[in-house]
Amino acid sequence: MDFRFSDDQLSIQSIARDFAQKRIAPVAADFDKSGEFPLENIRQMGQLGLMGIEVPVEYGGAGMDSIAYVLAMIEIAAADCAHSTIMSVNNTLYCNGLLKFGSEEQKRKYVTPIASGEAIGAFALTEPQSGSDATAMRCRAVRQGDGSFVINGKKSWITSGPVAKYVLLFAMSDPDKHARGITAFMIDTARAGFHCGKTEPKLGIRASATCEIEFEDYHVPAEDVIGSEGHGFKIAMGVLDAGRIGIASQAVGLSRAAYQATLTYAHDRKAFGQSIGSFQMIQQKIADMKCKLDAAELLTLRAAWTKQQGGRFSTEAAVAKLSASEAAMWITHQAVQVHGGMGYSKEMPLERYFRDAKITEIYEGTSEIQRLVIARNETGLR
């Protein structure tokens, strides 16, 4: 296997690292405390090509590949998970979905401003009563005589919802067909009938701005249907596979930050006349953290490589997401433990890493759902 990265991949990694350490890391704690959306940073990330890494240049993106995306995501997440969450949704859920299933006109109209950082995109699948069971959605799209649709209903936990210009929405257009009755739509939030609900007071990734959105007799013209009517569930599941690579990358970046902080603290903190890193119990933690971190990173890169080959990558994405998210939760837990009382203090970033890590086990498919995906793909049984 060739583990070398191309010059282009190393370039976007360097760009992301430089921006993350100079512009994001110094303000991450402040944004976490206030919950304010980091709009100016996101716009600058768009100008650097970070909001549409796999988007072709003609649509406003960087025109790079999945491995470049993983490398950049890791760097942003190592500075702040909230920024990387916004970046992940823009890249893998919103832009990726439209690039794969949108028409040429839809790509130019709805991808270009998002990939370039001029506007923010969102992805709306989850509802108050339907999380893992996406087919239980109640948001309804009723077809009109001219081919347009009228949408009514609610969506919840919409990342970037309060600030999004465009939303990739999934609604039930034919309830009798269940999964085959779901259709994908392009939503312009400036149109009448679209409303933002309360912003969620989250445990972590607080600056990413998550809210409910509501549709009240919202009119969607026929040209804003994504793909074909009834193909929405297939689109959503395909997009989530790519999204899981993004969350795995986020978890790797977060884990790396917690691990590096722990290494530094183990050297600097003295107890009983020596660095605590010389104690065997601390050394065991560091060794286990390193193993889990490296395994998560390699599995994530494997998933990205598999995606680039053009075939199915559902299992690889689920394995990466499950492994990396659970590693992040374990590594940040151990990092807080090694730091002792200081790890529990808001004066250091460890408690933020710990809070941010939990969501990686939940969104874009819980750990339980990842295990179902992996097992079903392996056994062929449902």
The 3-state secondary structure of 178-225, one letter per residue: HHHHEEEEEEECCCCCEEEEEECCCCCCHHHCEEEEEEEEEEECHHHE
CA-closest candidate to residue 231, choices 179, 187, 168: 179
Mean pLDDT of 139-161: 97
- pLDDT tier at 292, thresholds 50, 70, 90: very high
Mean pLDDT of 141-162: 97
As its CATH architecture, domain 7-119 has Orthogonal Bundle (1.10)
Q: Per mean pLDDT, which range of 39-43, 46-50, 133-137 is the poorest?
A: 133-137
Say whether 316 is catalytic: no
Mean pLDDT of 166-187: 96
Instruction: Say if residue 55's pLDDT is above 90.
Output: yes
Mean pLDDT of 293-313: 96
Q: What is the reported pTM?
A: 0.96
Q: What is the CATH T-level fold of the domain 122-229, as seen in this structure?
A: Butyryl-CoA Dehydrogenase, subunit A; domain 2 (2.40.110)
Q: Over the chain, what is the mean pLDDT?
A: 96
Confidence (pLDDT) at 81: 98
Q: What share of the chain is helix, strand, coil (3-state, %, to 5)?
A: 60, 15, 25
Cα–Cα distance, 335 to 345 (Å, whole number): 13
Instruction: Say if residue 1's pLDDT is above 70.
Output: no
| Tokens found for residue 230 | 């009834």
Cα–Cα distance, 53 to 63 (Å, whole number): 6
Domain residue limits, the chain: 7-119, 122-229, 234-379
Q: Are 209 and 200 in contact (CB under 8 A)?
A: no
Instruction: Say if residue 123's pLDDT is above 70.
Output: yes
Instruction: Say if residue 74's pLDDT is above 90.
Output: yes
Instruction: Say if residue 213's pLDDT is above 80.
Output: yes
Mean pLDDT of 96-111: 96
Q: What is the CATH T-level fold of the domain 234-379, as seen in this structure?
A: Butyryl-CoA Dehydrogenase, subunit A; domain 3 (1.20.140)
Coil, strand or helix at 244: helix
Confidence (pLDDT) at 130: 86
Q: What is the pairing mode between strands 149-159 and 210-220? A: antiparallel
Q: Which letter, b or e, does each residue of 123-143 get, where b requires 16 or more Cβ atoms within 10 Å of its Cβ?
A: bbbbbeebbeebeebebbbee
CA-closest candidate to residue 139, choices 109, 106, 181: 181
Confidence (pLDDT) at 129: 87
* pLDDT tens digits along 241-267: 999 999 999 999 999 999 999 999 999
Cα–Cα distance, 59 to 111 (Å, whole number): 6
Confidence (pLDDT) at 132: 85
Instruction: Say if residue 382's pLDDT is above 90.
Output: no
Mean pLDDT of 305-329: 97
Catalytic residue among 200, 351, 364, 368: 364
